[in-house]
Amino acid sequence: MITMMRRLAITSLLFTPLVEANHYIVGALGYAEVDLPLVTASGERYDSQDVAVSVAYGYQFHRQWYVETGYLQLADKQESNATYEARGPYVAILGKAGNQTGELFYRVGVMSMDTRSILDTTDEECISANACNSAKSIVAGMAGLGFDYYLGTASMLRVEYTYIGGQDDVKAHVVNLGWRYNF
């Protein structure tokens, strides 16, 4: 009986018709290729592939337009002698075209990216020059293209590509797969 009630609750969440679903939340996992102004242990710029994680909240203010705010983690890598991080909040406008299958959208926005590297070393030159650790806040623009595929009236599968570029020649290419819930 309890199992039946759980199934019924999950089904109602996925397929409940919503009269005015102007809000949504998104959670996504993906792949990111990032080039950041962080110094690596070998003295070069940080250029790597990493797992991307994002969460967002969106609001439909017009039948073809959304505003979305979220948090995106591009890099969180720990190596034997170093740690590299790049993450931050963003705000974007999404234009959309929808049909019975889903919604094609494009994204244009801005991100405030916090980057940080911590090198575990005993190198006196690095320590005296304060080059072992670096932290920067970078403003970056973002542009992307994606598709939200209807799984039910309230839930969608999101596939998207986003390019991020900004200060200090920051570049990131992100491909995400996520879940969107409309409410």
Q: Helix, strand, or coil here: 13?
A: helix
Where in the chain are the domains?
Answer: 2-182
pTM for the predicted model, two decimal places? 0.81
- Classify domain 2-182 at the CATH topology level: Porin (2.40.160)
Residue 134's φ and ψ, nearest 5 degrees, are -140, 145
Burial per residue of 84-116, b for 16 or more beta-carbon CB atoms within 10 angstroms, e otherwise? bbbbbebebebebeeeeebbebebebebebebb
Of 125, 136, 122, 123, the C-alpha closest to 38 is 136
pLDDT tens-digit map of 36-47: 877 666 667 788
pLDDT tens-digit map of 9-30: 555 555 544 445 799 999 999 9
